[in-house]
Structure 1
Amino acid sequence: MPDRYSDGFRSQVAFVTHTRDYRSADVLPALARHGFTTTERPHDRETERLIGQFDPDLVVLAIDPRQDEDLALVRNVARTCKAQIVVVAPGPHPHGLALALEAGADVCLRDTDGVEMFSAQVGALQRRKMAALAEPEQDEGPSTITVRDLVLDFDRCQAIRQNETIPLTPTEFKILAYLARNAGKVVSPVEILRAVQDYTYSEREAQEIVKVYIRRIRRKVELDPAEPSYIVNVRGFGYMLERRSSRREPARASEAA
């Protein structure tokens, strides 16, 4: 196991596993340039145990998300470890990227995106992590926000409803937190991703990616995801977290699906 505490400093560890051929000659040097100590191996039945043993900061999965077993790997990693997850998929298959995001990936890239994009996304993940570590020292407003029976605890990075913690991934919580801090205000998909990923996507890319995350968040937060009352969609503009004290009428809520 890599020594993560030499000289008193905790090094960054990346765990790379793959179910298919991919350009490791691009991925591994890029991780090294960002200061990661990397463990790389093909996926097998020992993979998830080893991820738990290494407790990495970043997991890179070079998989094909069109395959059910590969999607299961993403779900299992997201459920069992706190690391940020980057999926590298064969392209061009945008539906596969959406499936990987739904399964729990934080970032999805295609082989065709190239090493520059991979490196930029890894750098963005690191910047977001450093910013999150610095957040307690910043005065960014109240430590909790309550919308009806939904409570967002920013100190603990938790969403709670009726005394039960909602199992959100780090990116899902960041998106919900951003909407909460802007409750009652419509924010565009581009604004949302810029705030939580420190990377600017095109309007079309941002719409597709945020749509996936909002669907995942609604499944966990909304009492009836088919009739959302917390996160509503203002068509053509973006998303808004309702700050009203009562639930929207079903007829109106259905317009925001």
Structure 2
Amino acid sequence: MSNTIYIEYNFTVVPLQPGSDILIAELGEVGFESFVENEEGVLAYIQKGDWNENILESVEILDNELFKVEFSIKEIEQENWNATWEENFEAIQVADKCVVRAPFHEKPNVQYDIVIEPKMSFGTGHHETTHMMLQFILENDFDGKDVLDMGSGTGVLAILTAMKNAKHIDAIDIDNWCYLNAKENVERNECDHISVFEGDASLLGERKYDTIIANINRNILLADIPVYAENLKENGTLFLSGFYEEDIPLISETCVKSGLKFEKNLQKNNWVAVKYVF
């Protein structure tokens, strides 16, 4: 992995919000893996092997007259990523109970102290969707439960469920770097009852979970919600994020068809996280 080359796009976005959120969502759809937001816009990363010179053709915000988006491109070796995120990464606090921080941050006096070294993985708590999913986990009971974290990224959501006494957690991500990074973070936080897998929903088979967490983009969720429902135990709970407020009716329609019932949603800027019960 140390020889992997990434392409870094340095975007300046005006107006910054909601421009940066829209840009990140659209870049995620075409294969960009990781993002760092800053005061001028977004740094976005994609593996060179997944990149092509026409990668931005379907990124609609670039042609939207309501936004001015400019960018520069350079190659970056994966080993240089730490220097990039350390310059931008600040510890975040969720409610009064949870802090997500890097190893170089001072240890806080909170109930749930999560140490994450994200490298090229998504999910530090800074993005609205991850932050809201952390909120949901804090609000809900995980004691003795079997949990699935789908699209686990850094593993931060799985780690918090482990700290909230979940019995066993499976963390799955399709990206090899996320898989390796989640394994590192799980070990770093001493969560030995989290199993990390590389793959997608096809790995689930007939496994059953009390709670499924999925922070992925809308189209993948729409395709996989029926699979999640099949793998939920009776009275199970499904937490979803990775989409906008206007996507809730479409997501909920798919959930209802799979026997799930809407219970609650959180909103941060235009992003939402939604709780369904089986």
* TM above 0.5: no
TM-score w.r.t. length of structure 2: 0.24
Higher strand share: 2
Higher helix share: 1
TM-score w.r.t. length of structure 1: 0.25
